[in-house]
Structure 1
Amino acid sequence: MEVLDILIVGAGPIGLNCALEAKKNNLTYVIVEKGTIVNSLYNYPLYMRFFSTAEKLEIDNTPFISTAPKPGRQDALEYYQGIARQKDLNIHLYEKVLKISKNNDLFDIETTKSTYQARNVIISTGFYDIPNTMNIPGEHLPKVKHYYTEPYPYARQKIVVVGSSNSAVDAALETYRKGAQVTMIIRHSEISKNVKYWVKPDIENRIAERSITAHFNSELIEIKEHTVVFRDEHHQIHEIENDFVLAMTGYLPDFDFLRNSGIDLQGDCLNPVYNSETMETNVKNLYLAGVVCGGKDTHLWFIENSRMHADLIVKNILLQQ
């Protein structure tokens, strides 16, 4: 069996950047990805736009051309998948990594399709695959959606949107504009300060004019077949008619996968242990890159501020050769 210099888990933007750095430095590598190239971006809402401008999303000094000031989902898919094609990156798609084991100086990597050996492993898996559940009765009913793609299925339906982040606000505004009756259930006292600055006035104005109903300091406590039950800020219980629940409660990294790989997790946010100068974890030659570094604090790392992880990791690998 060939022993790779690097096996990269995840073909997101940062995983691709790690592969590009490995290739430039003549290191043997493979990316193993459980879905398609930039799978998380593929599963974003169809009309999503980034906070960042195009140049802040660039990797490998390859220009990201976008006609809009803020690139959208399709722009990003074209850009990152285009780089993978142009650079002929070694990517194995629709293959999930099941287990990473350290055996002396080598890693044994087991996937759904094969086994590999590598001297170094980079985990760059993001956080979009595991919904942050509410753990309430009825959450697993078919009408409950933890992922939102487009508004058309919800036309003329009674929608409850849980949360006040970007995904929740986008879902509320888009479904409202396609004729849905929208109610937002929000744990906090206001719309999140992290909401895109050009969208925040829109949702606040729709709430103020009562086009969208918002219950602040409130909590959804049960989901039924045709209704939902929530507790308001006065601790009173209400039951309202409902067709769909869009639970935009955020997403989490696969902490079990990190633990099973030997990575220590610390604190309430389950922050993975790693050296910020090299991105190496407590397991020698096992590295983290991208959003996964933040644990539950998924707002800590973005494409634009974690692009440099690839360079830090590959430099450290070269120093140890």
Structure 2
Amino acid sequence: MDNRFEEVKAEIKKGKRFLVVSHVSPEGDALGSLLGLALALRNIGKDAVAYLEDPVPELFMFLPGADTVVHSLEGAAPFDATFAVDCGQKERLGKGFVSFKHHGKLINVDHHATNDSFGDINVIEPGASAAGEMVYDLCKAASLPITREVAVNLYVAIHTDTGSFHYSSATPESFIKAGDLVRLGAEPWEVSKRVYENHPARKYKLLGMVLNTLEVIDLNSNGHARVAMVTVSQEMFRKAEAEKDLADGFVNYARGIAGVEVGVLFREAGELEYKVSLRSKGDVDVADVAMSFGGGGHRNAAGFMLKGSLEDVKNRVIEALKGAFARV
């Protein structure tokens, strides 16, 4: 029996009305975990509301239940409990949720090692490849039926957060759970087609501009500390007529360069403010770097916000990465 979820099972049993939330700028794991859990709760007759501060990206509107997500809690009736999935810090759930006072007991279900245990109940498993794995485990532990619709969402969560199962975070358990989700109705080819072969042309217009900003630098003289950096500005978004979520994943082009250990994406988020995304090939712990700036994530994938000019932000990140390489 999975004892991690004993308290959670008790809350599900006694509660009638639940809120399920995830982080701002949601990606596949956030969305799949959020919708999978909300649908599973509805399957046993619970009133479950899925909430996100930001819109569901167009790419993921095919997910079952995506059209039921709400983006405001104003006037919402009190909830017995709230599930926060795939989120390391409460602030990342968005201002709308943070200011909401009627969420009931807060249940934090996450796989980020940098999670600060902000819930009343915290189930944190850094060894899980995705929050979707943990929701799968919760469904099994609490006897929540995994219908085809739930299976599709949880498969997408695991599939995307493991980089189609080629990241080092993918474990034998990831494959076992994904296999069971396929048995329950998820279709790998359909998911791959929807997620990787369904992008609007404006994404590639944006990508072309971003790749033109590419910089590759050596942080030491031996050539073993190579970093590749790309930048996306608000002006680029305007020129490409692209939404901000279309830049998701661009950092991987920087990391994918031969000889590069860390890829960095600087996305202009506002006047003198940048969202910094870091991706490592494995040796450098970028979560440590992110935490030093108030962010978080995983060893190989992390992010944070920084204020300042682009030049200043780049210099601060470069200095932090020098320290990270020195610790390898």
TM-score range with shorter-chain normalisation?
Answer: under 0.3
Higher relative contact order (CA 8 A, sep 6+): 1
TM-score normalised by the chain length of structure 2: 0.25
Higher strand share: 1
